[in-house]
Amino acid sequence: MDDLMVNVDRLFAAQLSADVPPGAAAPVQVPAGIVSYQAVRTGTDTLLTITAFRSAELLERAQQGAAAIRESLADFEVEEIETFSGEVAISRVSEDLLTPVRPRT
């Protein structure tokens, strides 16, 4: 799981940071329209990812590109169990969340 988290951060999540220019070379391009992304460890070998998009249209486009992301993680035997989507009803963020959390290497 540690190696998976490092790869997810390096290959995908880091592209959402302000210090990475849009269109920078990356193994897999992160879909446009993502406003937040979190990967939460829910067990020894399970995790939950939460991705918020600017619009439902951008979410739909991103789902088409999700296969490339899963393919790039094939060595980790990632299995998508279930996907939910919906409109954000309440959103708040503390200053603590604005500091990126990086996986331990």
Tens-level pLDDT at each residue, the chain (105 residues): 999 998 888 878 877 876 665 555 566 677 888 888 899 999 999 999 999 999 999 998 888 767 777 888 889 988 888 889 999 899 888 888 777 788 876
In a domain, 97, yes or no: no
Q: What is the per-residue pLDDT for 22?
A: 57
Domain that holds residue 6: 2-83
In a domain, 15, yes or no: yes
Which is it for the CA torsion 75, 28, 34, 94, positive or negative? positive
In a domain, 59, yes or no: yes
Query: Measuring CA to CA, which residue among 104, 97, 80, 103 is closest to residue 36?
Result: 97
Q: How far apart are CA 105 and CA 59, in angstroms?
A: 31
**Are 86 and 40 a contacting pair, CB within 8 Å?**
no
Q: What is the per-residue pLDDT for 7?
A: 86
Q: What is the per-residue pLDDT for 48?
A: 93
CB atoms near residue 60 (< 10 Å) = 11
In a domain, 88, yes or no: no
In a domain, 61, yes or no: yes
**Domains identified in the chain, total number:** 1
